[in-house]
């Protein structure tokens, strides 16, 4: 009679339950050696004998091996895919702390009009240089950053418009300075959209300054309109409103050229008239055709000078 736990000569300890347990352990990725090393498990030689004497066990064990190999391949592929999605580590430095949530928070503050310098000074935010490095390193963040800067330019333009609308005679110099700064920022942030307009406006400003200097030099120290130095000067703002005519056409008040003046006649049946409209709207005085011609010629000359200056700078 054999020892306990061992089969007597000619006997087998194989059972279907023991075979299923061994196959399940192998399918889970364990090696046959580790399974056989557990207390109460048969030796590897015994399992090989079971394979020869029990065909159903041999087939189940082969299926378990195939399942284990498939699981290993799938796990390796998943790990490779995860590694491919991760940005390459920076050698010699710590890993990037960028996350999409942090990038969205930065872009949201940019859209609200906050400068990147102010965001970088926030203790809860990365510094200025780190944010710019993220823009270069993470394409998704770069797309968000570009869109946020475009929206920021629109906000700056709106702020400049509101500032100009709220300006009074008492704060014209300060408001003009703030307006110019906002317009310059909008041109820098969204150069393709606003730079040409800014250069044209600057050329107009330079032409106006040169004309005023020439007048002062020719009038012996008097400014525009003959005002002496130190005397108050008159500042004239031209505001154009838009109304909808009886036929649904949009009309400019006052008309800025002969075509817009003719539109009033065609839409209302009468020429544009200065005063108060039927709904209480104010209608400013209209310029003369000679004034339109002088203005158009002046603007064309200034735009031509600005275009030549841009072309010279590119060369």
Predicted confidence (pLDDT) per residue in 109-142, tens digit: 988 888 888 999 999 899 999 999 999 889 899 8
Query: In the beta sheet, which residues pair with residue 222?
Result: 228
Evaluated on CA atoms 180, 184, 185, 190, the torsion sign reads positive
Sequence ranges of the chain with CATH classification 1.10.10.60: 16-85, 98-189
Among 18-27, 29-38, 77-86, 284-293, where is mean pLDDT lowest? 284-293
Tokens linked to 231: 């005397």
* Predicted pLDDT of residue 281: 66
Q: How confident is the model at residue 224, as a pLDDT?
A: 41
Residue 91 has pLDDT above 70, yes or no: no
What are φ and ψ of residue 250, in 5° steps? -85, 125
Name the nearest CA neighbour of 43 among 14, 80, 76, 67.
Answer: 14
pTM to 2 decimal places: 0.32
Three-class SS string for 36-81? Answer: HCCCCCCCHHHHHHHHHHCHHHHHHHHHHHHHHHHHHHHHHHHHHH
Query: CA torsion 188→194→198→201, rounded to 10°?
Result: -160
Dump pLDDT digits (tens) for 160-202.
677 666 666 676 666 666 667 666 665 655 555 444 454 555 5
Residues 6 or more apart in contact with residue 132 via CB below 8 angstroms: 116
What φ, ψ does residue 252 adopt, rounded to 5°?
-90, 135
Q: Which fold has domain 98-189?
A: Arc Repressor Mutant, subunit A (1.10.10)
Question: Which residue would you say has higher pLDDT here, 158 or 227?
Answer: 158
Residue 203's pLDDT band, with cuts at 50, 70 and 90, is low
Superfamily of structural domain 16-85: Homeodomain-like (1.10.10.60)
CA distances from 127 to 97, 103, 131, 138, 203 (A): 12, 13, 6, 16, 37
């Amino acid at each position: 009679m054999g020892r306990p736990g061992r089969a007597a000569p000619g006997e087998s300890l194989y059972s279907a339950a023991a075979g299923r347990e061994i196959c399940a352990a192998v399918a889970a990725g364990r090696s046959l050696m580790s399974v056989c090393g557990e207390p109460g498990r048969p030796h590897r030689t015994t399992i090989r004998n079971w394979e020869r004497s029990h065909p159903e066990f041999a087939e189940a064990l082969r299926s378990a091996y195939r399942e284990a190999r498939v699981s290993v391949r799938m796990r390796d592929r998943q790990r490779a895919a995860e590694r491919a999605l991760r940005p390459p580590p920076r050698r010699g430095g710590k890993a990037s702390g960028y996350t999409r949530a942090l990038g969205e928070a930065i872009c949201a503050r940019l859209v609200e009009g906050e400068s990147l310098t102010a965001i970088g000074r926030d203790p809860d935010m990365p510094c200025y240089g780190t944010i710019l490095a993220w823009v270069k390193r993470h394409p998704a963040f770069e797309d968000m950053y570009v869109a946020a800067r475009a929206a920021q330019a629109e906000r700056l333009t709106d702020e400049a418009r509101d500032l100009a609308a709220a300006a009074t005679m008492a704060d014209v110099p300060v408001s003009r300075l703030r307006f110019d700064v906002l317009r310059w920022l909008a041109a820098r942030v969204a150069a393709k959209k606003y730079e040409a307009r800014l250069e044209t406006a600057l050329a107009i400003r330079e032409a106006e300054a040169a004309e005023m200097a020439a007048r002062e030099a020719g009038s012996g120290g008097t400014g525009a309109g003959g005002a002496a130095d130190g005397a108050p000067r008159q500042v004239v703002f031209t505001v154009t409103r838009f109304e909808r005519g009886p036929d649904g056409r949009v009309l400019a008040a006052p008309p800025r050229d002969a075509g817009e003046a003719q539109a009033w006649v065609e839409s209302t049946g009468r020429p544009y008239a200065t005063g108060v409209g039927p709904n209480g709207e104010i209608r400013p005085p209209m310029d003369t055709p000679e004034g339109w011609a002088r203005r158009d010629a002046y603007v064309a000359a200034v735009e031509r000078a600005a275009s030549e200056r841009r072309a010279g700078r590119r060369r």
